[in-house]
């Protein structure tokens, strides 16, 4: 990546998305702050600029195809290419998600609209721009709760979590990541999923034990992979038993 590289981060007005924008900007990239709320996006742009980042808010609602298409057209007209796409926007469904046998379908659909369908819509719209870059990177922000292997480990930290909307949306996102990686396997574009770990953000009422700064590290790593870096991988903070919650170890995770 060069100082003129261009990165689009969805849901970048706060939390991990904002921190990804800050860290990529600190590396010299121009960052497009994707946010569906214009006022919050404008505030995030100003805050990033105050930190020395070349940031520009772009109105983007990942659940609205017209908004997605307009964003792609705007980037094409103003820049002509895109080097990095970070699909970060996501929702949990909240406590109303219930146990599996009590799952409200309206909440399930709403979570999938953002966490899965929105990723596909944005990626498909931005792919022609990503193909114009020398070696683009796509990073889908996933979660360890989407790992089937981890969630069925009775001795692991995910065993107590029993819910369908958010975990299954991240499982689906992992498969979406793998399929894009396969399609783009013989191109310079690399597609990976990132696990930020359990970070304190609005998504979980700030109950996480990791910071947004720490959560962004795995995403930034995948967004700046060298030519010999992986594609089609699930990478991030390790939750295995012998790694404590404050241990900075990272590695490839089981799907």
CB 52 within 8 A of CB 25: yes
Taking phi over 0 as left and psi of -120 to 50 as alpha, with beta for the rest, 77 belongs to alpha
Cβ contact 33:12 at 8 Å? yes
Asked if residue 83 lies in contact with residue 5, where contact means CB atoms within 8 angstroms, the answer is yes
Give, in order, the Cα–Cα distances in Å from 62 to each of 55, 66, 91: 19, 9, 12
What are the structure tokens assigned to 5, written together? 């590289």
- Which of 112, 166, 198, 235 is flagged as catalytic? 166
Is 166 noted as a catalytic residue in this protein? yes
Alpha-carbon distances, residue 43 vs 38, 68, 122 (angstroms): 9, 21, 23
What is the rounded distance in angstroms from the CA atom of residue 132 to the CA atom of residue 111? 31
Helices (H), the chain: 15-26, 38-50, 65-78, 105-112, 118-131, 148-151, 165-183, 212-223
Helix (H) or strand (E) holding 32: strand 30-35
Instruction: Evaluate whether 230 touches 203 at the Cβ level (below 8 Å).
Output: no
**Residue positions annotated with a catalytic role:** 166
């Amino acid at each position: 990546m060069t100082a003129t590289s261009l990165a689009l981060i969805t849901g970048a007005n706060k939390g991990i998305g904002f921190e990804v924008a800050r860290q990529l900007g600190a590396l010299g990239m121009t960052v497009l702050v994707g946010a569906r709320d214009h006022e919050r996006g404008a505030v995030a742009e100003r805050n990033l600029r105050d930190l020395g980042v070349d940031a520009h808010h772009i109105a983007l609602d990942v659940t609205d195809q017209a908004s997605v298409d307009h964003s792609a057209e705007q980037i094409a007209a103003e820049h002509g290419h895109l080097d990095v796409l970070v699909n970060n926007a996501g929702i949990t469904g909240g406590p109303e998600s219930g146990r599996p046998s009590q799952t409200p379908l309206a909440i399930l659909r709403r979570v999938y609209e953002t966490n899965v369908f929105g990723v596909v819509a944005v990626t498909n719209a931005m792919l022609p721009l990503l193909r114009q870059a020398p070696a683009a990177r796509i990073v889908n922000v996933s979660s360890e709760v989407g790992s089937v292997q981890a969630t069925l480990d009775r001795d692991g930290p995910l065993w107590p979590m029993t819910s369908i909307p958010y975990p299954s949306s991240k499982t689906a996102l992992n498969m979406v990541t793998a399929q894009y990686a396969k399609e783009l396997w013989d191109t310079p574009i690399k597609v990976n999923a990132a696990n930020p770990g359990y970070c304190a953000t609005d998504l979980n009422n700030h109950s996480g034990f990791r910071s947004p700064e720490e959560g962004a590290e795995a995403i930034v790593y995948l967004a700046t992979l060298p030519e010999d870096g992986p594609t089609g991988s699930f990478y991030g903070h390790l939750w295995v038993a012998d790694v404590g919650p404050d241990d900075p170890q990272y590695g490839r995770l089981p799907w």
